[in-house]
Amino acid sequence: MSILQIENLTKIYGKGETAVKALDNVSFSVKKGEFVVIIGPSGSGKSTLLHLLGGVDRPTSGKVLVDNTDIYQLNETELAIFRRRQIGLIYQFYNLIPILTVEENITLPMLLDGHKVDQKQFNEMVDILGLKHRLTHLPNQLSGGQQQRVSIGRALINTPAIMLADEPTGNLDSKNTDEIMELLKMFNKTYNQTLIVITHDERIALQADRVIAIEDGKMTKDEVIRS
């Protein structure tokens, strides 16, 4: 069953002479629970693709269907709700809010949605993430690996169907890289959560079910490693 269908997706930034075609007619679909790695040179359109999959931006043309919902037919409010419920986003530089504690950073998407935090679920999650004794710390009191685990917690709090990660280990040493990937793969396998990761790290690409390569805005490779 496919959770994600991308149809003829094109993104052009700017207009006229300075226009940049960042994505050029990209189509593919992703099965529920699949772990997909996206590789490609810098500037090839990987982040643009990830943002369009996550409802963060709008395409110039083409469609993104998540669970058969055409997400760019939604209005801004509906799209924001879709993002918070269905998509977990993780970035290279964590994007935590510096003045909020670990607990506040993690629970923010739930509170924004007007939901009460399920304390049992929250406790279990921070335990798995190894953050139980860091809940009242501020982001700048944590290591890079810990900050990335906070951002994973924030992405997971609404139990999204799809986890999108843009170079999640790009700022981490190899030990922390392994820890972060083990966590992401654990949620992928245990909860059948679809996982899409942009990376330059070949070791990570080898762990995926499937590798998609993007060059110059076009899909140049789509290789299933294990199914």
Please tell me whether residue 111 binds ligand ADP under the rule CB under 6 A: no
Q: Which range of residues in 116-124, 140-148, 152-160, 204-212 is near ligand ADP by CB under 6 A? A: 152-160
Longest dimension (CA), the chain: 55
Please tell me whether residue 88 binds ligand ADP under the rule CB under 6 A: yes
Q: Out of 26, 35, 48, 168, name the contact with ligand ADP by CB under 6 A.
A: 48
Residues in 156-195 at the binding interface with ligand ADP, rule: CB under 6 A: 160
CB-wise, 96 or 227, nearer to ligand ADP?
A: 96
Structure tokens at 141: 């009191």
Structure tokens at 214: 């993007």
Q: Which range of residues in 2-10, 39-47, 140-148, 185-193 is near ligand ADP by CB under 6 A? A: 39-47
Binding mask 54-83 for ligand ADP (x = CB under 6 A): --------------------------x--x
Q: Which residue has the tokens 């395409």?
A: 59
Residues in 1-30 at the binding interface with ligand ADP, rule: CB under 6 A: 13-14, 20, 22
Nearest to 33 by CA among 162, 213, 201: 162
User: What burial class does residue 74 get, using C-beta atoms within 10 Å of its C-beta: 0-12 exposed, 13-18 middle, 19+ buried?
Assistant: middle
**Residue 177, helix vs strand vs coil:** helix
**Alpha-carbon gap, residue 8 to 144, rounded angstroms:** 37
Residues that bind ligand ADP (CB under 6 A): 13-14, 20, 22, 40, 42-48, 80, 83-84, 87-89, 95, 108-109, 112, 154-155, 160
